[in-house]
Structure 1
Amino acid sequence: MSTPRTTHFSAVIRILRYLKGTIFHGLHFSSESSLALHAFCDADWAGDPTDRRSTIGYCFFLSTSLISWRSKKQTVVSRSSTEAEYRALADATSELLWICWILQDMGVSQSTSSPIYCDNQSAIQIAHNDVFHERTKHIEIDCHLVRHHLQHGILRLLSVASADQTADIFTKSHSPGQFGSLVSKLNLGSTLPT
């Protein structure tokens, strides 16, 4: 705000153009859907070209309804794609716990573990492995958090192909066709004004 440049103005124009094109998009919550909770989490590794920090993203669905999402730049530089993905998994696990507590307060308990879909096999293997390796000691707290809730049946980690990773929309830019495909996976409704 103190020293705006033409690049900032271009970004604002792009955001306004996007908002104008999506003004009638909205979230749809069906009264007839199940209350099964599931999530997708993703990270781009070293995606910012200036400081090489990664961006994490996750989205949570109650049946087919999008109820929570986040995109956030990591505060530290990840040394591998596995580390970036695991940090995203830890953030998604924390959000899962919060959503489960909210649902429980509303009288809705989850009878089965909630799946979190991740497209990084190494991150999934680290979560299932009780032995810490030299390569994971810098994410040890995240490992304990995810593994604890995995072992207690709060969550299940499932692999998803990168092409089917819904949270990908929150971590990187896409071509218009791919972006449209990802938006449709979020089940956004579009209504025209009457």
Structure 2
Amino acid sequence: MIITGDDVDGISDLKASLQRTFEMKDLGSLSYFLSLEVMSTVDGIYLSQAKYASDLLARAGIIDSRTESTPLKPKVRFSPMNGTVLDNPTLYRQLVGGLVYLIVTRPVIAYPVHVLSDFLSAPRTTHYAAVLRILRYIKGILFHGLYFFAHSSLSLQTYSYANWDDDPTDRHSTTSYCLFLGDSLISWRAKKQTFTARSKTEIGYRALADTTAKVISIRWLLEDFGAPQSSSTDVFCDNHSAIQITHNDVFHERTKYIENDCYFVR
């Protein structure tokens, strides 16, 4: 059990009450939990998974000093047919599963890990090589993590992005977003869309709709925590066509199919 808060006396009373009822041990301030390394200072909390990442590198047999500057090569695309099928896919599945958990403190690898997760059933040599590249990238930023600022503002800002026609196999696009509470990154996602879009405008606005739904849930959560948002939340998007539709109340034949999403975002 993890107990947190700023009421020192209340926490002490709660621990004493629990110890009278249950057999438990006070482990002191949180420093390590489920592979998460926690460092607390007066300025904030730093989360890292350096040891977990090192264990993952050892499992993959990466012991040299070579690193990569990016998780994936630029504009690379994967398919179920490139390369040869791995004789034993167990290690590939273990490494991808380990990388999924590493996303907890490494949001930068969320997209490439999401892409390579599509090939767990029948991975090939090209997919395995991409996993090793991600691991070598992690090796170069081994001690990076997430920092949550203690004195940051509590205003939400959100960024939405979508890759059009991203998967050459099913031509589905990928929705991505990240939410900042002040200067701290608190939520992010990269997930393939469930439909085949016919334009960048469509996938951009679908991504905006998913992002808006997440913003609403986070605003409700912050209100439950006693930190309600006093102003509207800025949602940033680089899709100019989607932005234009946001400000245009008139729908026509080419935009009718996303009208519901437009009203939802507004």
Question: Structure 2 regions of 5+ residues with no counterpart?
Answer: 1-119
- Paired with 2:203 and 2:151, the residues of 1 have a C-alpha distance of 37
Deviation at 1:130, TM superposition (A): 2.3
Deviation at 1:79, TM superposition (A): 0.9
Structure number with bigger Rg: 2
Count residues in correspondence. Answer: 147
Query: SS at 2:187's partner residue?
Result: strand
Kindly report which structure 2 residues correspond to 1:52-131, keeping only aligned pairs within 5 A, or say none. Answer: 52-131=171-250
Q: Which residue of 1 aligns with 2:110?
A: none
Query: Relative to structure 1, is the Cα distance of residues 66 and 135 closer, same or farther in structure 2, using a 3 angstrom cutoff?
Result: same
4+ runs of 1 displaced by more than 6 Å? none
Tell me if 1:33 matches 2:156: no
Query: Relative to structure 1, is the Cα distance of residues 42 and 4 closer, same or farther in structure 2, using a 3 angstrom cutoff?
Result: closer
Deviation at 1:2, TM superposition (A): 4.5
Letter in 2 for 1:5: R
Question: In the TM superposition, what whole-angstrom CA distance separates every residue of 1:168-188 from its partner, at most 9, and x where no partner exists?
Answer: xxxxxxxxxxxxxxxxxxxxx
Query: SS at 1:134's partner residue?
Result: coil
Tell me if 1:13 matches 2:149: no
Letter in 2 for 1:129: N
Query: SS at 1:130's partner residue?
Result: coil
Identity of aligned residues (%): 61
Question: Structure 1 regions of 5+ residues with no counterpart?
Answer: 148-194
- Paired with 1:12 and 1:46, the residues of 2 have a C-alpha distance of 22
Q: Which residue of 1 aligns with 2:262?
A: 143
Deviation at 1:6, TM superposition (A): 1.1
**CA RMSD, aligned part only?**
1.5
Quick one: higher RCO (CA 8 Å, sep 6+), 1 or 2?
1
Letter in 2 for 1:12: V
Q: Which residue of 1 aligns with 2:253?
A: 134
Q: Which residue of 1 aligns with 2:61?
A: none
Letter in 2 for 1:52: R
- Paired with 1:87 and 1:3, the residues of 2 have a C-alpha distance of 30
**TM (normalized to structure 1)?**
0.70
Deviation at 1:41, TM superposition (A): 0.6
- Paired with 2:143 and 2:189, the residues of 1 have a C-alpha distance of 21
Query: SS at 1:100's partner residue?
Result: helix
Deviation at 1:78, TM superposition (A): 1.2
